[in-house]
Amino acid sequence: MVNGDVTDFERAVEALTQSGADGVMVGRGANGRPWFPGDLAHYFATGEKRAAPSLDAQFALTAALYDEMLIHHGARIGVRHARKHLGWALDAAADTAGVLPEQLKTTRAHVLTSDDPAETGLRLADAYDAFSWRAAA
């Protein structure tokens, strides 16, 4: 088994080729992209590279993760603990939508600075909506 910086299909193939290992482990490469390990398995099984899920699908996954963090940790700790995960998810969504770095920076700051769980959820939904508009433009 090989691991280390497996963040895309090409790096996974390169890691396997260089190491001679029978499989890859994905760590940081799945940050903000929980679908990536499954897509990588699909690629190795079929040779087909899947595109990132739609922004709607990404939002649904991210919102569900956020809700589960709030349930598991409680609102006070959950909203803070979720920040890194929400940040990674926003990075992935911005990449999908072709959002410019300055818009991503502003959006991250807006979403990740709220201490109110409900407000954070609303800001997150607004961010994905804005990214969807950007992708459609």
For the stretch 17-46, pLDDT in tens is: 999 998 899 999 999 999 999 999 999 999
pLDDT of residue 4: 76
pLDDT of residue 129: 97
Q: Under 8 Å CB-to-CB from 124, ≥6 apart: which residues?
A: 59, 62, 63, 66, 86, 90, 111
How far apart are the C-alpha atoms of 90 and 33, rounded to whole Å?
10
pLDDT of residue 44: 94
3 is written with which tokens? 């691991």
Q: Are 90 and 63 in contact (CB under 8 A)?
A: no
How far apart are the C-alpha atoms of 89 and 110, rounded to whole Å?
14
pLDDT of residue 77: 96
- Tell me which residue of 60, 62, 54, 67 sits closest to 90, measured CA to CA: 62
pLDDT of residue 137: 81
Residues in the chain where the model's pLDDT stays below 50: none
C-alpha of 72 from chain center:
20
